[in-house]
Amino acid sequence: MSVWAREFRDETLDEMLRGEGRGAPEFYAKCGACKKPDPLFRCARQTCIGPAMYCEDCIVSMHRQLPTHMVEMWSGEFYIPMPMNELQVEARMQLGHAPGTYCPKATSAHRDFVIMDTLGIYTVKLNFCGCDTRITHRQQLMRACLWPATSLDPQTCATFNAIRLFEVQNCHPVFQVVSLLATHSGIVITSLSSSLHALTTSQISEAALFLARSELQARQDVVESRVNVEGRDRAQVTSRLDQAPSVSAYAQIAINSGA
């Protein structure tokens, strides 16, 4: 650390300040996609499309399926956080179809649809697919790696990454960190308690599903072992297992208490 402070501190500071600006001309003179001059936007994360700047049309096109990425707009002196749903070009996420395509029978989600991610809480514009009514809104969300907070008419969800983060940390510190990140991004959170409840319920539901899957696999292993190895009657073994306490029953209690 002393070597860094003595020899590399100024260099590190210069690079951090460089990141607060537009960088080299090759990154800001033209849109990184369509080559229009003087682009104003970039992705704050810079992990999906790099440090290049883009025009509004291109930045929206690249982020329709990435609604939790924060876009920044160059003001002439510094970057301003710009939520996707506040851009002039509509950034509406379409479920059930390939990126860049739209459903001819789309239905709009709730106008204040909320997605919780590892770096913040976001209000997004989202369309459900209406081509196949057998595929529920819950299924469409999960196929997009979004965990619905409720079973009926979901209006809030958490990304799978947020759920995984929640698994290894206590729910309250995680939510406080996410709330601070959201506030730092200029997003007003109107219902912290309901969002926390939604995240908690999502985690309990996923845990219950994991227990149910594990129990089913263990049950099948026991049946096959006792029938094939010990030579017992399959019907008798199955009957006895049916009378044993169920792990998923306790999981259901957890769901009911957390709902």
CA distances from 254 to 171, 196, 218 (A): 16, 16, 21
pLDDT at 95: 92
Distance CA 28, CA 39 (A): 6
pLDDT at 255: 43
- CB-CB contact of 53 with 31 (8 Å): yes
Q: Which three-class secondary structure string do you get for 118-164? A: CCEEEEEEEEECCCCCCCCHHHHHHHCCEEECCCCCCCEEEEHHHHH
Distance CA 236, CA 46 (A): 60
Q: Which two tokens stand for residue 221?
A: 């292993």
User: Which helix (DSSP H) or strand (DSSP E) does residue 240 occupy?
Assistant: helix 234-242
pLDDT at 44: 82
pLDDT at 146: 93
pLDDT at 121: 86
CA distances from 222 to 52, 140, 232, 239 (A): 57, 35, 11, 12
pLDDT at 209: 56
Widest CA span in the chain: 79
The model carries a pTM of 0.59
If the chain, 259 residues long, is cut into consecutive pieces of 10 residues, what is the mean pLDDT of each piece? 79 82 86 93 79 89 82 90 76 83 87 86 88 89 91 89 77 62 54 57 55 60 63 63 49 45
- CB-CB contact of 258 with 200 (8 Å): yes
| Residue type present at position 179 | S
pLDDT at 180: 63
**Torsions phi, psi of 74, nearest 5?**
-75, 125
- Helix, coil or strand: residue 7: helix
- CB-CB contact of 179 with 192 (8 Å): yes
pLDDT at 133: 81
Distance CA 158, CA 202 (A): 8
pLDDT at 35: 94
pLDDT at 141: 94
Q: Which residues pair with 122 in a beta bridge?
A: 115
| Residue type present at position 215 | E
Place of tokens 């209006």: 155
pLDDT at 198: 59
